[in-house]
Structure 1
Amino acid sequence: MDDGQQSSSGGARPSSSSNNNSNSSGSMTAELDPVLHSIGFEIGEVSPSQLTGRLPVTAKCCQPFQVLHGGVSAMVSEALASMGAHMASGYRRVAGVSLNINHFRSAAVGDVVLARAAPVHVGRSTQVWEVKLWKQDPSTQGKGPQISESRVTLLCNLPVPDNLKHAGDALKKYAQAGRTTTSRL
């Protein structure tokens, strides 16, 4: 999918000014990734072909110079790529083996960062995902300057241990619903 305003199903995405889903996206994020939720990240679209989300930049996710910590960008990248790879592999277990991230610009406290993860390669044993982060343009609520880009390589189709066979249930619930919230990526 290009960087336009269409969802993966071809329909228009809801406007970010719609508040109907902000609470549900927060609870969805809490269920899918408690660590992302703890820093205020909100997952938007959830599908095997794309995941999106947004992060209001607060002091909690900044380094001492009050800009977004590079490790937070890396954590967002790995989390979104891992969820996508898990779905794309039919909910088999995946494991990240490589993360490369380039930081282009900073995002300061008060900015909102938009994120989009999409597969570059989905193979039988490995997947490669590209994750881009942008500052949100306050005037349009759309993408502003890109702040980082990463490549995440994951082993996929690993066996799921019996004690973890329900680990993907929440992801299945939201992906099957074709869930799209307030993301404008």
Structure 2
Amino acid sequence: MEKPAISPAPITAKLDRSLHALGFEYEFLSPERVTGKLKVTETCCQPFNVLSGGVSALLAEGMASLGAYIASGFKRVAGVQLTTNHLRPTLLGDVVEAEAKPIQVGRTIQVWEVEIWKINPSNSGNKVLVSTSRVTVVCSQQASNDVKDYEEMVKNYAKL
């Protein structure tokens, strides 16, 4: 079994402030896969105590962008297209697991698939797919020197 590349909570705060603010925790980073978990809290829910579709979209774009950043050799990345399908509701208190994988890694454009599953609390191996997203990312420009510290931190935690 693969060991997580990072210690989740403190590192997520450094890697992605917006996802950290929601309670998301990165668990594994590599050019081929990015994973993490989120406990659905009131902050993540719409008024009906259901996970907000916007939160699912934010998870998808954040994870795909981080994966694309690593896979591109640490070039500047920007999302240019996001499509999300919400398949089943996720309720307040549920825990979700998300995984991003590249479909196509080109020199200019990358396409990533992100799946979000609800985890059964009594059997973590039993998961239900609740959302799928496809994220297209442009990655053709060199990152500026002011993000070199960020690049080094990502390199320290990613499985390269």
Q: Give me the TM-score of the superposition, normalised by structure 2.
A: 0.93
State the match for 2:88 in structure 1.
Answer: 105
Q: Indicate if the aligned counterparts of 1:50 and 1:116 stay in contact, CA closer than 8 A.
A: yes
2:2 corresponds in structure 1 to 13
User: Which range moved further: 79-88 or 165-174?
Assistant: 165-174
**Residue 29 (structure 2) pairs with residue 46 (structure 1):** yes
Q: Provide the rounded CA distance (Å) in 1 between the counterparts of 2:47 and 2:96.
A: 18
Instruction: Answer 1 or 2: which has greater strand percent.
Output: 2
**Is it true that 1:34 corresponds to 2:17 in the alignment?**
yes
Match of 2:136 in 1: 153
What is the root-mean-square deviation of aligned Cα atoms in Å? 1.7
**Pairwise CA distance, 1:143:** 4.6
SS in 2 for 1:165: helix
SS, match of residue 167 in structure 1: helix
SS in 1 for 2:149: coil
**Aligned pair 1:80/2:63, yes or no?**
yes
**SS of corresponding position for 2:154:** helix
Task: Give the conservation status (yes or no) of the 8 Å contact 1:114–1:143.
Answer: no
TM-superposition CA deviations, 1:25-77 (whole Å, max 9, x none) = 10011111111111110111111100000000011110000010000000000
TM-score computed with the length of structure 1 as normaliser:
0.81
Counterparts of 2:94 and 2:157, CA distance in 1: 27
Q: % of aligned pairs identical?
A: 48
Aligned residue-pair number? 159
User: Following TM superposition, where does structure 1 have runs of at least 4 consecutive aligned residues deviating by more than 6 angstroms?
Assistant: none
Structure 2: runs of 5 or more not aligned: none
The alpha-carbon deviation at position 14 of structure 1 amounts to 5.4
Distance in 1 (CA, whole Å) between partners of 2:103 and 2:35 is: 15
Where does the alignment leave 5 or more consecutive residues of structure 1 unmatched?
Answer: 1-11, 16-20, 180-185
Higher helix share: 2
Q: Which has the higher relative contact order, 1 or 2, with Cα contacts under 8 A spaced 6 or more apart?
A: 1
